[in-house]
Amino acid sequence: MSDITKQSLTELVENIKNKKLSSTDVTKAFIDRSEKSEELNTYITNDFTSAIDKAKKFDQKPNLDLKLPGIPMAVKDLFCTKNIKTTAGSKILNNFIPTYESTVTENIWNEGAILLGKLNCDEFAMGSSNETSFFGNVQNPINKNLVPGGSSGGSASAVAGQLTPITIGTDTGGSIRQPASFTGIVGLKPTYGSCSRYGIVAFASSLDQAGPMAQNVKDCALLHEVISSYDPKDSTSIDFKRNHFSKELTNNIKGKKIGIPKEYRVDGMPKEIEDLWQKGIHYIKDCGAETIDISLPNTSYALPTYYIVAPAEASSNLARYDGVKYGFRAKGENLIDMYEKTRSEGFGAEVQRRIMIGTYVLSSGYYDAYYLKAQKVRKLIKNDFDNVYKKVDAILTPSTPSSAFKIGEKTNDPVSMYLNDIFTVPVNLAGLPAISIPAGHDSNGYPLGLQIIGKAFDEQNILNIAYAMEEKINFKNKITDWWIK
Amino acid sequence: MSIDLKTIKHISKLARISVDEQRAEKLAGDLNSIFDFIEKLNELKTDNVEPLTSISETTLKLRSDEVKSKNIRKQIIKNSPQDNEDYFVVPKVIE
Amino acid sequence: MSKKNSEYLINRRDNQYEVVIGLEVHAQVLSESKLFSTSSTKFGAEPNTQVSLVDAAFPGMLPVINEYCVKQAIKTGIGLNAKINKRSVFDRKNYFYADLPQGYQISQFKDPIVGEGKVILDMPKGQKEVGIERLHLEQDAGKSIHDLDPQNTFVDLNRSGVALMEIVSKPDLRSPDEVNAYIKKLRSIMRYLGTCDGNMQEGSLRADVNVSVRPKGSKEFGTRCEIKNVNSIKFMQMAIEYEANRQVDLIEEGKTIDQETRLFDTKKNETRSMRSKEDAHDYRYFPDPDLLPLEVSDKFIEELKNDIPELPDDKKKRFIEEFKLSSYEANILVSDIDTAKYFEEVVTKMGKNKDIKLAVNWITGELFAVLNSKGLEISQSPVSAKNFAILINLIKNGTISGKIAKTVFELMIDGDKDPQKIVEEKGLKQQSDPKALEALIDKIINDNREKAIEYKQGKEKLFGFFVGQAMKASGGKANPQLINEILKKKL
């Protein structure tokens, strides 16, 4: 079965359930392809040997009632995995082996999935190109010279390159949707509080959410159904009734009202993106839904707000990496000296930059001008969404202001790098769910994504809209396997 | 507004990250361009806006007062950089 | 220092200075598990055996709040006559230290769980009201041990994450004596409520002391210094005394006082600046994004209010009214909950025909003396309240004399023996049979004819001699009142 890795999750589950494929077949196929794909640099740590053992064990006594029966998958290296090194893409956690499992990955293994390994990402999920990883940048399977986006760059590349049928990433300002868009796959950022943050290395606690990344909308719905759960171990986890997203998935979106926010038509946005958006509006109407022009007046303030809130929380969340309890420690003459050297040598430049921003905006004399101001603007941004959701069921925007850029192109200009997240960041600030689906190509043949933003806890609705559009778009990713030797 | 080297030194002290001259200058440049961009927020009047303290519209759930965590000293100490069976060990603290 | 009008003032040349003190008391909450984790809070465990992944701040670990600790803080607030805030917020206080694994302490900054309140102190001059500014919940830190190794500091995180209540007073205190009374009162209230055991040796109660001085009569506050983490009342008093004098000296020399954090060196009995650390202390408080605002309903608070026991002030009032005790006696009995409990049990066990004054005298006299000499708390008293009550009743109903009672009491101590049995076994029952006593006295008068005559001639002092003889002849068991009566008649 040479084309196992080309199959979607839904197909693989189907084939395992009706015994056309064993878990061992599937696991071996993905391991084989992963081993031939070292050049992509998607894996930080692999667990192939024990993956095969687990697959064999599964096949001996297969439980086919599970949602992910014997399905191998790799996950972003931000999820703590018991007895498997977890680095968050950082030197400071280079040698860290958790003795515990994140709730989200626990949910996945409980449904029968098997861990292949840990995927590369920007250091502590801070980045939009996967170039801040201590373990080197990741190649985009679309083209050797392109970044896969970030921070879940390894995850996006691994799905697009078919090294794993599905994966999970985390999204703080666009870290699932932007790389999904850059690599031509589907990525969902759930409502804040939908997926537990327990056991996920924290970046910015009020924005971080784990979410599924997959080849198609249906796979994404199934994986989301597995990972979303109420967790008493996370005080921000919300106890609400969760759908069987994959079962209830429908392409019937007739009569739905979809908002088109004028503020997302930003200066300097390439015509290709504008065209893609128009195409999206067309598809929406084709599906029998209605589009409505709306206004989210504070959109342009989202990114500056984000670059106060996220670094502020990060500066505090990353204080625990001090060389005392775990991770990298530099030699120091005394405690303070040890701290300063450990953190200076252990964190990369982008992480240090954000810690510095965060420390500054919280420091005495600046709190009101920056942090408090940002929390107020955040309220305004949330109010914008609350207002339009009185009139519409969902919002359609481009996922990113451009297609994937070249490796090294933006590393020296942090602001231009940050601008990548201009369409994704407002969603995190408002705690809403949003999905990015591949919707077309630019003139180079690089994929472009559209984003559908939903109401809080209304993942089913945006999955349905995405599902309906997916059918109309009929997107084909242009993967040439250039990296396979 | 402008972030000078003195400010960079002060923040790096608070953040416990040592920065040499060269790095401090680079950081000052980066931070200034980032803050130029952040200053856009000043266009907005927010005097009467309540700050958002939590994105979830629910309140804190309380857990019952039960001891569930056992003695896991081995696990806790296992990853620590300096070996000791009982304690975390750090270079001498100078008061 | 002048004690005139029992006012605490510092004198230099012709100038008199008043001392202004405010306290930030850190009281460990009595609970089974920690504030945000499920580890045990037991004192004295092996190092790092009560540390969870949350306490040691492992990546991805999150805080989940303990309901009981919230209740304990609210109860304490009620005990301090304070406003309970239905909505409060947890903030992060950011700083680096070896025994602070998260790199921040979860505390409450802008919106504490308890607002303004007050406590009443009984001072020799009369009552004094001390304002409470606020009470908030926060995490305790771990412990750094500096003397196990010459190059290294060892860290024990057992205490890391245990719930603390920080109780901030208004700058209403004016002397070391008032500080002593304030701490004891707080301790007493919390022990009544069962919210803190108040054990200062184990560090359950510690305080940061804010001290400033100002010329007597001035309405403005001077610059204050904060003396960090003092863990006994005696040290607090010594630190205040030293610090106030230091500040007065500076003023007298025309120098200025720097607002700063200081440390009390218990060996040298002086405070010294900790300014070396000062520049690193910009705590960058902000609301903890891992936690949501804490909201409690009126019903939740009401239920806790119904659960509040009688507190020392009310108990004192009741003791005075119900038992006709003096304010002084009542104070002694109510200041510690265990003393009050013991006393009330004695009262109950004494039954109908009780002599409360006698019981109070015996508790504050004999019982306290024994506890003192043995270094015991009243909760560990070798004599149970039940047997104690029986003893008092034996005195009251004339079965034994007060003097014999002391002998009986001493015998009771070993093994909490029943005084009734001791009296019977040792034949210590008081002789109250007038006929037998008359015979005994007749014999004594007969044996001492000359002295009897001298007495009758006016040497009244000899009456005591006859009483003594009679008591001696009865082996101390004769009812002294009867002896008196019979002797008067016979002589």
Whether C449 contacts C457, CB under 8 Å: no
Whether C391 contacts C399, CB under 8 Å: no
What is the pLDDT, as a whole number, of residue C275?
64
For the ranges A317-331, C126-140, C275-289, the lowest mean pLDDT is seen at C275-289
pLDDT at C172 over 70: yes
What radius of gyration do chain A's Cα atoms show? 21
Q: Give B71's contacts in chain A (Cβ within 8 Å).
A: none
pLDDT digits (tens, 9 = 90+) for A130-186: 999 999 999 999 999 999 999 999 999 999 999 999 999 999 999 999 999 999 999
Mean per-residue pLDDT over chain C, rounded:
92
- Identify the CATH number of the domain in which residue C439 sits: 1.10.10.410
CA separation for the pair A40, A138 (Å, rounded): 6
Same structural domain for residues C208 and C356? no
Q: Give A315's contacts in chain C (Cβ within 8 Å).
A: 94, 284
Q: Does residue A2 carry a catalytic annotation?
A: no
Provide the pLDDT confidence category of residue C458 given band limits of 50, 70 and 90. Answer: confident
What is the pLDDT, as a whole number, of residue C191?
96
Structure-token pair, residue A331: 């030699």
Answer whether residue C477 is part of any domain: yes
What is the pLDDT, as a whole number, of residue B1?
56
Provide the pLDDT confidence category of residue A18 given band limits of 50, 70 and 90. Answer: very high
pLDDT at A360 over 50: yes
Q: Which of the other chains make 3 or more beta carbon contacts under 8 angstroms with chain B?
A: A, C
Tell me how close the Cα of A229 comes to any Cα of chain C, in angstroms. 16
Query: How far does CA A366 lie from the centroid of its chain?
Result: 32
- Asked if omega into A194 is within 30° of 0 (cis), the reply is no
Tell me how close the Cα of A235 comes to any Cα of chain C, in angstroms. 6
B31–A353 CB contact, under 8 Å:
yes
Provide the percentage of residues in chain B whose pLDDT is more than 90: 82
Q: Does residue A76 carry a catalytic annotation?
A: yes
What is the pLDDT, as a whole number, of residue C1?
41
pLDDT digits (tens, 9 = 90+) for C39-89: 999 999 999 999 999 999 999 999 999 999 999 999 999 999 999 999 999
Interface residue C90 vs chain A (CB under 8 A): no
DSSP state of A158: H
B82–C152 CB contact, under 8 Å:
yes
Instruction: Find residues 346-385 of chain C whose CB sits inside 8 Å of chain B.
Output: none
Structure-token pair, residue C152: 């290294």
DSSP state of A124: G
For the residues C259-281, what does the mean pLDDT come to?
A: 80
Same structural domain for residues C418 and C440? no
C64–B92 CB contact, under 8 Å:
no
Mean per-residue pLDDT over chain A, rounded:
97
Answer whether residue C310 is part of any domain: no
C-alpha angle C64/C68/C73, rounded to 5°? 105
pLDDT at C258 over 60: yes
Q: Give A353's contacts in chain B (Cβ within 8 Å).
A: 27, 30-31, 34
Q: What is the DSSP pairing of strand C294-295 with strand C87-88?
A: antiparallel
Tell me how close the Cα of C357 comes to any Cα of chain B, in angstroms. 43
Q: Give B14's contacts in chain A (Cβ within 8 Å).
A: 359, 363
Same structural domain for residues C173 and C48? yes
Domain ranges of chain B: 5-43
Number of domains in chain C: 3
Residues 6+ positions from A403 with CB-CB distance below 8 Å:
A182, A272, A442, A444, A446, A447, A448
Picking from C246, C276, C305, the residue at the C-terminal end of a domain is C305
Whether A200 contacts C60, CB under 8 Å: yes
B5-43 CATH, one of 1.10.405, 1.10.20, 1.10.10, 1.10.3470: 1.10.20
Provide the percentage of residues in chain C whose pLDDT is more than 70: 98
Q: Which of the other chains make 3 or more beta carbon contacts under 8 angstroms with chain C?
A: A, B
Interface test with C, best of A325, A340, A357 (most C CBs within 10 A): A325
Residue in chain C nearest A360 by alpha carbon: C284
pLDDT digits (tens, 9 = 90+) for C234-244: 999 999 999 99
Interface test with B, best of A360, A411, A417 (most B CBs within 10 A): A360
For the residues C263-279, what does the mean pLDDT come to?
A: 80
Annotated active-site residue in A23, A133, A175, A403: A175
Q: Pick from A336, A343, A374: which is nearest to B41 by CB?
A: A374
Same structural domain for residues C47 and C160? yes
Residue in chain B nearest C284 by alpha carbon: B14
Nearest to C155 by CA among C191, C209, C101, C205: C101
Tell me how close the Cα of B86 comes to any Cα of chain C, in angstroms. 6
Same structural domain for residues C451 and C416? no
Interface residue C209 vs chain B (CB under 8 A): no
Annotated active-site residue in A28, A76, A189, A218: A76
pLDDT at C4 over 80: no
Answer whether residue C313 is part of any domain: no
Annotated active-site residue in A37, A90, A128, A151: A151
Nearest to C26 by CA among C73, C59, C60: C73
Answer whether residue C251 is part of any domain: yes
Give residue C457's domain range.
434-490
Instruction: Find residues 41-70 of chain C whose CB sits inside 8 Å of chain B.
Output: 46-56, 64-70
B71–C49 CB contact, under 8 Å:
yes
Same structural domain for residues C194 and C212? yes
Interface test with A, best of C286, C288, C291, C294 (most A CBs within 10 A): C286
DSSP state of C364: I
Answer whether residue C315 is part of any domain: no
| pTM as predicted | 0.93
C157–B88 CB contact, under 8 Å:
yes
pLDDT digits (tens, 9 = 90+) for C405-448: 999 999 999 889 999 999 888 877 877 778 888 888 888 888 88
What is the pLDDT, as a whole number, of residue C454?
87
Picking from C425, C447, C479, the residue at the C-terminal end of a domain is C425
Question: Amino acid identity of A104?
Answer: V
pLDDT at C277 over 60: no
Q: Does residue A144 carry a catalytic annotation?
A: no
Q: Pick from C92, C103, C284: which is nearest to A363 by CB?
A: C284
Interface residue C292 vs chain B (CB under 8 A): yes
Strand partners, C261: C226
How distant, in Å, are the alpha carbons of A229, A236, A393, B61 from that of A240? 9, 12, 19, 14
Picking from C382, C408, C425, the residue at the C-terminal end of a domain is C425
Q: Give A302's contacts in chain B (Cβ within 8 Å).
A: none
Interface residue C358 vs chain A (CB under 8 A): no
Q: Pick from A338, A340, A379: which is nearest to B52 by CB?
A: A379
B40–A332 CB contact, under 8 Å:
no
Strand partners, B85: none
> ipTM higher than 0.95?
yes
Same structural domain for residues C127 and C259? yes
C155–B56 CB contact, under 8 Å:
no
DSSP H or E run through C25:
strand C15-28
For the residues C443-469, what does the mean pLDDT come to?
A: 85
If one compares A332 and C7, the residue with the highest pLDDT of the two is A332
Classify the C-alpha dihedral A331-A335-A339-A341 as positive or negative: negative
Tell me how close the Cα of C412 comes to any Cα of chain A, in angstroms. 55
Tell me how close the Cα of B11 comes to any Cα of chain A, in angstroms. 6
What is the pLDDT, as a whole number, of residue B95?
59
What is the pLDDT, as a whole number, of residue A134?
98
C-alpha angle A123/A136/A220, rounded to 5°? 65
Answer whether residue C137 is part of any domain: yes
Interface residue B46 vs chain C (CB under 8 A): no
Provide the pLDDT confidence category of residue C278 given band limits of 50, 70 and 90. Answer: low
Same structural domain for residues C249 and C385? no
For the residues C157-176, what does the mean pLDDT come to?
A: 97
Whether A351 contacts A132, CB under 8 Å: yes
pLDDT digits (tens, 9 = 90+) for B8-54: 999 999 999 999 999 999 999 999 999 999 999 999 999 999 999 88
DSSP string, C104-173: EEEE-SSS-SB--EEEEEEETTEEEEEEEEEEEEEE---EEE-SS-SSEEEEE-TTTT-EEEEEEEPS-B
Residues 6+ positions from C128 with CB-CB distance below 8 Å:
C120, C121, C178, C181
pLDDT at C6 over 70: no
Answer whether residue C141 is part of any domain: yes
Tell me how close the Cα of C228 comes to any Cα of chain B, in angstroms. 13
